[in-house]
Amino acid sequence: MHSPVSRRGLLTAGVGGLSLGLLTACGLRLDQDPEIPTLDATQQLRNRLARILDSTSPGAGDPETAGENLADFAAAIGPEWNPPTEFATEAPPTEEDRTLLQAAEVASRAVFEASASLGSDLIPVLADVATGLALVAGTKKPEIIATADELIRVGREELDQSRDGGDDATASPSAPGGADADAGTNDSGSQVPKGRAEMFNAILNQSRAAAYGYERLAVNFDSKSRERKTALARLESLGALSGEMLERLGEDAADAAASAWKLDPTPTDADSAKELALSLEDGVASALLPWLEADASAILRLWESARNRMVFAAPQPLRFAYDEPGQAEVQE
């Protein structure tokens, strides 16, 4: 079984009320009420997912792994954040009790409907958990996957349209779409910041390697099998990913393609071909994470990778590992 991949990110609003609670518990005198942070829309969304998961229990119709999956999702998202009761101006919102299938439908829709405006460094964990919920629940209720796919593609179109009509030169790197701001239009001769070029080239090289791997592994499946059809279709989306990276990099900054890539394992039969497919998709997810940390555009590419991976194995609930809530890290 392949372990989830990850890379370090940030959790911006986890248990912020803890320090205030400690101050009051110790009897320290405060000359004035401490400032209670205001959560932005993305932080509020993370908070809502925490409430949804906290109110969810395995139920009839859920996958057998529902209990384990829910624990993993909740640990990744982190606990609900609430200000100390003495400073709260209103009662905290609540969520109704749900099964995993019900929670997955509500939570994935909430994230993917907002995908075009996500920010505050929480994009990786929100996208990862929403993707996992949709795919795990989709094994029992396929329409959840279909709805998620549509919402993700609509969100990506909205992002692309906003950038086409906006001023890249004034975009903030921390705002949605900011990952593209430094790169500009990437015409031949334009300068791409070194860190940005390295990130896009890593994705470019991984997408090329994955395409090569899928060409090699596809022949190990029957021509009419789901695996063979998926492998061949995956070449198209990987080609689109490579093309996008080339466009972002520009001719001068893009690395040259290798003539071949080392495959581990070398596909010689259906079992080794499936294993290679999992390895290729894990590599793609790992390469995507730095982009995902700054730009919601990468959600579509993470979704494509996760959906293709589940053809060759059970859906992977989380593509990234979380030693701490909200902090995605690449597992070596």
pLDDT at 86: 61
pLDDT at 16: 38
- Is 10 contained in some domain? no
- Is 76 contained in some domain? yes
In SS3 terms, the chain reads as CCCCCCCCCCCCCCCCCHHHHHHHHCCCCCCCCCCCCCCCHHHHHHHHHHHHHHCECCCCCCCCCHHHHHHHHHHHHCCCCCCCHHHCCCCCCCCCCECHHHHHHHHHHHHHHCHHHCCCCCHHHHHHHHHHHHHHHHCCCCHHHHHHHHHHHHHHHHHHHHHHCCCHHHCCCCCCCHHHCCCCCCCCCCCCCHHHHHHHHHHHHHHHHHHHHHHHHHCCCCCCCHHHHHHHHHHHHHHHHHHHHHHHHCCCCCCCCCCCCCCCCCCCCHHHHHHHHHHHHHHHHHHHHHHHCCCCCHHHHHHHHHHHHCCCCCCCCCCCEEEECCEEECCC
pLDDT at 27: 40
- Is 170 contained in some domain? yes
Spans of the chain, pLDDT less than 50: 6-31, 167-189
With vertex at residue 167, the alpha carbon angle to CA 165 and CA 170, rounded to the nearest 5 degrees, is: 155
What does the CA dihedral 220, 138, 324, 37 come to, rounded to 10 degrees?
A: 140
pLDDT at 180: 41
| Total of domains in the chain | 1
| Cα R_g (the chain), whole angstroms | 21
- Is 11 contained in some domain? no
pLDDT at 20: 37
- Is 9 contained in some domain? no
pLDDT at 38: 79
Q: Do 7 and 320 meet the contact criterion of CB atoms below 8 Å apart?
A: yes
CA distances to 24, 41, 61, 122, 205 from 295, rounded to whole Å, are 39, 16, 35, 10, 19
Q: Is the peptide bond before 79 cis (omega within 30 degrees of 0)?
A: no
pLDDT at 300: 98
pLDDT at 331: 66
Q: Which domain holds residue 220?
A: 18-329
- Is 120 contained in some domain? yes
Q: Do 125 and 77 meet the contact criterion of CB atoms below 8 Å apart?
A: yes
